[in-house]
Chain A
């Protein structure tokens, strides 16, 4: 097989045991969760086999090693997203937990009745519902930025006019839509939002960007950014919340308990500085440590190549789908400029039936609302099928999708 866009996909595929163990599998659901390379699995094994002690507790050597591996992960994750300091990374379970942490620990503290919280209709439920609920709870105004037919955000003219005001305390944005695969201009939006209101808290959901493109939090200029490990080749159960040192220091703890305390008296307690302040209880130690292996794997692969590979596959798949099925396939959002995510409806067929028949032909896609009900309603549909491409996918996988869709037509008529 010839090299594809600099990514040696055949070699990459050898790194993923799931592909070896399921030789016929066409995995097109990496947007839900990615497959894991051997090095990540080995790293988890290493922790449990060689130094599975608790962290930041024991004086003995094993605990010391676990602690230093855990903190090394923090350093690498910080480097991966170009944070200024490792202490700006808080390990959490996933993006959802990171965003809820913000809604509880920060939102409830800063938001008053009549203030505004802004999110977008293109957000995943996890960057939408926490803000909607928070606004309802405190009597704030919940504003939702709309999208146009191409999936671009309707950001007003001039930018953010009538959307962000001096009363807007929180602006929550998606970096890349998990349905449309479109990247949003978060840097420009945040810069303008801060011009209108310098105190605004800006939050970026990077669950769909961290696995696929270079992230530079300082360049983006956000206050917070959240992502999950399991979508970027890492284990489930670990994600990261980036927050600027200033913001994290201002924030109150979210969970109380072990590992986050400085001193405890009978009537009051004082807490560690961040990030320990936000990491109460024993974390997912092995998973955090293994996340580092995933980060190293992606860094070594070069994220620019990853992005190019995915976009090229998405372009190829899109053109194949449209030339084979014409008007009977409807791809959501702008078909020209997207990462490796293609959500579509196909004829009158129900997405569950499509996904079922694709599954019978070894093609794994997602069917449903992809945790983005508002966006589906916006486009007048209840659900869609989503095929997503990552580093281990090939042109043959796109061809298999097309072939399996022909089977859908054959069976359902």
Chain B
């Protein structure tokens, strides 16, 4: 099956939570060394729960769609809950099978999310 499902392409062309926050509680920058892509993720926590989240940067359809879907998922979830999610959750959010070569693209937003939350 193609990686480029309607859902993936929709999130690529119209990403949710794309942008920046004015007063983030925490943020992170991550880079994909293979292609130079980078994602900045900013999170505002309220009582340990994600009150707002935004990402910016440059990426392929897979990493942008994953960041968009993950940001939607993360809203109103606790830090504890989010620190527990792994690649399986990303795969189910994306709803496609990812080849080993593209795994790094799909997981870059999760890496950014965890890196930001670890700072709190």
A residues apposed to B, CB below 8 Å? 350-353, 356-357, 360, 367-369, 373, 376, 382-383, 411-413
Please name all residues of chain B whose beta carbon is closer than 8 Å to the beta carbon of A356 when the two chains form the complex.
Answer: 3-4, 102
Q: Contact flags (1/0) for B17-61 with A, using CB distance below 8 Å?
A: 000000000000000001111000000000000000000001111
Do A350 and B34 form a contact, CB below 8 Å, given A356-B3, A360-B2, A412-B9?
A: no
A139 to chain B, nearest CB (A): 28
Do A352 and B36 form a contact, CB below 8 Å, given A411-B4, A412-B4?
A: no
The count of A-to-B residue pairs whose CB atoms sit within 8 angstroms is: 46
A393 to B12, CA, bound (A): 34
A392 to B62, CA, bound (A): 33
Contact A368 B102 (CB under 8 A): no
B68 to chain A, nearest CB (A): 15
Q: Which of B3, B9, B12, B35 contacts A368 (CB 8 A)?
A: B35
Interface of A is mostly: helix
B26 to chain A, nearest CB (A): 25
B residues apposed to A, CB below 8 Å? 2-4, 9, 12-13, 34-37, 58-62, 102, 105
A200 to B70, CA, bound (A): 55
Contact A352 B9 (CB under 8 A): no
Contact A411 B2 (CB under 8 A): yes
Beta-carbon nearest neighbor of B1 in chain A: A360
Contact A367 B4 (CB under 8 A): no
> What would be 19 A-B contacts, judged by CB atoms less than 8 Å apart?
A350-B61, A352-B35, A353-B62, A356-B102, A357-B4, A367-B35, A368-B35, A368-B36, A369-B35, A373-B36, A376-B36, A382-B35, A382-B37, A383-B37, A411-B9, A412-B4, A412-B9, A412-B61, A413-B9
A336 to B18, CA, bound (A): 41
Please name all residues of chain B whose beta carbon is closer than 8 Å to the beta carbon of A383 when the two chains form the complex.
Answer: 35-37
A408 to chain B, nearest CB (A): 10
A409 to B37, CA, bound (A): 21
Do A352 and B60 form a contact, CB below 8 Å, given A367-B35, A382-B37, A383-B36?
A: yes
A413 to B59, CA, bound (A): 16
